[in-house]
Amino acid sequence: MQKMKTSKMATRINKYLSEVGFCSRREADKLIEDGKVTINGEITEIGTKVEEGDQVEVKGQRIIKSIKHKNIYLAFNKPVGIVCTTDRKIEPDNVIDFIKYPKRIFPIGRLDKPSEGLIFLTNDGDIVNKILRARNNHEKEYIVSVNRTINEDFLWNMSNGVEILDTKTKNCFVKQLGQKKFKIIITQGLNRQIRRMCESLGYRVRSLKRVRIMNIKLDVPTGKYREFTKKELIELNRLLENSSKTY
């Protein structure tokens, strides 16, 4: 087993992989747990630190930290049928192959395969957990269509919390837009949260589209992406100033 390094100049391996833009810290931990990360030829473990001159490899691929590393932030309009994963071998309909961006990027969070709309892609691993952690209360806005007419009980329950996945969802903003359509703004990110909330109330989601994450709105055609504007990035960083990270 590899010895833990304690140098003050050393960087935790998951942070190192996020800083070079290889993946998020969460994804790095999964790769480490699966034994796919080595330091100087030895399989590493969570918490091990990387020092200057160490050779880091993921699945046999050498990872080099570039001094000229530039952060990339993309707003992508994900079509139905595309999966938000970087594992190109397991899932052929993945977001990375669909976009074909010339540099390595990864999605922040997920939209399930039947859903569409806004998702961020980046090579900045440090921003991921700040955006994703529910306790940071960052808003995500969706437009949802269901299979039958919406009533007052449905709107009240969706707004005031629904029992799913052994917990009660947080209070949220819900507004009816049509006979079978509504807008919802949530700050949580439970697995298939909105679909499960609807199902628990006897409704089935016909379509689900994310139209906003925090200050960034969906404004590109389906299947297209754009870079964050300078103004958007400044405001995003302001909103994230007091956000906590996992590490």
Rounded-to-integer distance, Cα 23 and Cα 30, Å: 10
Our CA angle for 98, 103, 107, nearest 5°, is 55
Rounded-to-integer distance, Cα 175 and Cα 158, Å: 10
Amino acid at 53: G
Helices (H), strands (E): how many in the chain? Answer: 7, 17
Count of CB atoms within 10 A of residue 145's CB?
A: 16
Rounded-to-integer distance, Cα 48 and Cα 214, Å: 34
- Looking up tokens 């399930």 gives 112
34 labelled catalytic: no
Q: 87, 112, 153, 219: which one is catalytic?
A: 112
Task: Indicate which residues carry an active-site annotation.
Answer: 112
